[in-house]
A and B are shown apart, each in its own frame.
Chain A
Amino acid sequence: MKTIIKLENVHKVYQMGKVEVPAIRGINLEIKEHQFMTIVGASGSGKSTLLHLVGCLDTPTQGRIVLDGNDISKLSASELAQIRGQKIGFVFQQFNLLPNLTALDNVILPMIFQEVPRNKREKRARRLLTEVGLEDRLHHHPNELSGGERQRVSIARALSNNPPVLLADEPTGNLDSKTSKKIMKLITDLYKKEGKTMIIVTHDPKISEYTEEDIHLKDGQIISNGRETSKVVW
């Protein structure tokens, strides 16, 4: 299978005043197309930083990240924005929906930035929201939705531009265990259906049970990699 994401000796150092704080320390990683993987690590292990780097929200201090053939450290801010819009879908722990927009408009928003024609984007947004089970919540604002529903909207939003890569940062971190299970089921169902590359970052080892593969991070380094999963639970 084709490699879609490749990290070569990636370092990320944050400047906190005069102190340099290394968050990622020399990570090498290859992620293939259609791979479904979890990055597990305690808080402060650098897992969110790694996800931001892969998602083109940040650029490495040192090393190379190649996303679908593009070396992202060489791209301008607006080219990075373009890549994020087209190739990456984000799902956040805090949902990060825009409070002023309805569920439908939140899903439409990324398509506006990609200049998808009006009728097309509305049709697609409706379809995606139906797929995540929110066909009767289209015109609700985020504050009128439950946590689980909000996360469904954010998953639909992540899929809006049909990106090859889906990145989820603690997608169940703000949900109770029952809702968490439902969301993970939705994500795995989507994986099976859409066959996208999916990376979930979590501190919860149980989440990794849903995925084919996991890597463990500690202090900005990978401590185990490439588990061929035998305990997939779906």
Chain B
Amino acid sequence: MIREYFKISIRNLKTRPLRSWLTIIGIVIGVFLIIILISLGSGLEGAINKQLQMMGPKVVNILPGEISNMMTTMTGSLKLSDEDIEAVKKVRGIEKTLPMLWKAEIIRYKEEKQATLISGVPWKEGASFLQDDMGWSLEEGRWPEDRQREVLLGNAVKEDIFSKVKIGEDFYIEGRPFEIVGVLESLGNKQDDSMAYIDLPLFRQITGEREGAQIIMAKISEDAPTKKVVKEIKESLEETRRRKRNSDLPSFSVLTSEKAAEMFNQIMGLIQAFVYGIASIAILVGGIGIMNTMYTSVRERTREVGVIKAVGAKNSTIVTLFLIESGIIGLLGGLGGIVFGLGLAKVVAFILRAQAGFFIEASITPGLIIFGLLFSFGLGCLSGFFPARQASQLDPAEALRYE
């Protein structure tokens, strides 16, 4: 019988298409928000975690500035000094360190000129660090040699910044030729992929950045306890700074991959709570929309309810008929929301990848789709419940007299 009830309910919805569609759109918006958030959110989480995993658990980053104040750290206006580098190096349990510096320079390749970030790497110890502990690998070519005019290109430099770069050709940095010896596999974010990596001493010569680093990466030896070493790095840095700069204590942060993940998850949690809050309100408004439509429809069809009661429909049948109707509104809204949500999530992921080099996979699982559909059908039924009950409790004799 339920099949017949569905047929009847669908026909009822079709007789008032505009109102049905408007109500459905209300649900589409709410579900759309939720779906795009879930799929992009988990995609973002996956992308970040993948990056964090590339960085081994025994690697710590030492950054200038308070990590909670992201802006100062990101703009690179703060720097760590040579003393800071030494302070990190001498901590017991530190196996190796890698100071990293970067600066934008004009680069010429054949006829093309582009402002590009170049970074200095001490290849002797740096190459193995980047390979073994940071998970960097070559797409083609080889790693540059120490103190040679050789350049290693990030993946995006080859394709997006310059066109058709070939290994063995020359790259002109500040007018000085560097031989292109290798191209990296993508590192998963646009900033790292857009850099050209050269020998550190040469970098210092060209850019005039004679000392310090923007970031120090340090590898803790396998048998040393990470927490203790991190604490000692902090103490060592603090002591150095107190000694060298007296009262002046510019801040710094020591970041383990674990800590980074924790911070990221905290921020994600906040963003998600906020957006879920908004999405919940949208869903609530959609549900009220369904309820409103259903109350109107019960009122309009009072006489019809009287008729079907007269020909033998029980109260439970009337409830079922109206619930199916509101459930279908919810379901169609959910379907629309899922289609638009996933569609837009794909587009956003594509744009992020193309424009920002940020690899988010909009995660679309069958589970998410089924959840979305069940949720919206349930929402429809829930919103339709009170109107349906009102309809079922109409007195048939009175309902038949209703004009």
Q: A residues within 8 Å of B by Cβ?
A: 49, 52, 55, 57-58, 77-78, 81-82, 84-86, 90, 92, 96-101, 109-110, 112-115, 157, 161
Contact = CB atoms under 8 A, between A and B. Distances in A.
7 contacts: A55-B310, A84-B311, A90-B310, A96-B400, A97-B307, A100-B11, A113-B312
Pairs of residues from A and B, 8 with the lowest C-beta to C-beta distance, nearest first? A85-B312, A110-B311, A58-B397, A113-B312, A81-B314, A57-B397, A100-B11, A52-B397
B311 A100 contact: no
Interface string B305-322: 011111111111100000
Nearest to B312: A85
Contact of A98 (B304, B309, B312): B304
A96 B307 contact: yes
Contacts of A49: 397
B303 interface: yes
A55 B308 CA distance: 14
B400 A57 contact: yes
A58 B395 contact: yes
Interface of B: 1, 4, 8, 11-12, 14-15, 303-304, 306-317, 395-397, 400
- Max chain B Cβ within 10 angstroms of own Cβ: one of A82, A90, A113, A157: A113
A6 B315 CA distance: 26
A109 B308 contact: yes
B307 A113 contact: no
A109 B308 CA distance: 8
Contacts of B397: 49, 52, 57-58
B314 A82 contact: yes
Interface of B is mostly: helix
Given A57-B396, A112-B4, A96 B312 contact: no
A96 B317 CA distance: 19
Given A84-B311, A90-B311, A96-B307, A78 B316 contact: yes
Contacts of A113: 308, 311-314, 317
Given A57-B396, A57-B397, A98 B307 contact: yes
Contacts of A86: 312
B310 A82 contact: no
B1 A98 contact: no
Contacts of A78: 314-316
Contacts of B8: 100-101, 109
Contact of B312 (A58, A84, A97): A84
A38 to B, nearest CB: 20
A122 to B, nearest CB: 11
B309 A99 contact: no
Nearest to A169: B400
Nearest to A110: B311
B11 A101 contact: yes
A92 B315 CA distance: 21
Contacts of A58: 395-397
A81 B394 CA distance: 13
A185 to B, nearest CB: 24
Contact of A81 (B11, B15, B315): B315
Nearest to A49: B397
B312 A92 contact: no
Given A98-B307, A109-B8, A113-B312, 7 more contacts: A49-B397, A55-B310, A81-B312, A84-B312, A96-B400, A100-B14, A109-B308
A96 B11 CA distance: 17
B15 A100 contact: yes
A58 B306 CA distance: 11
Nearest to A98: B304
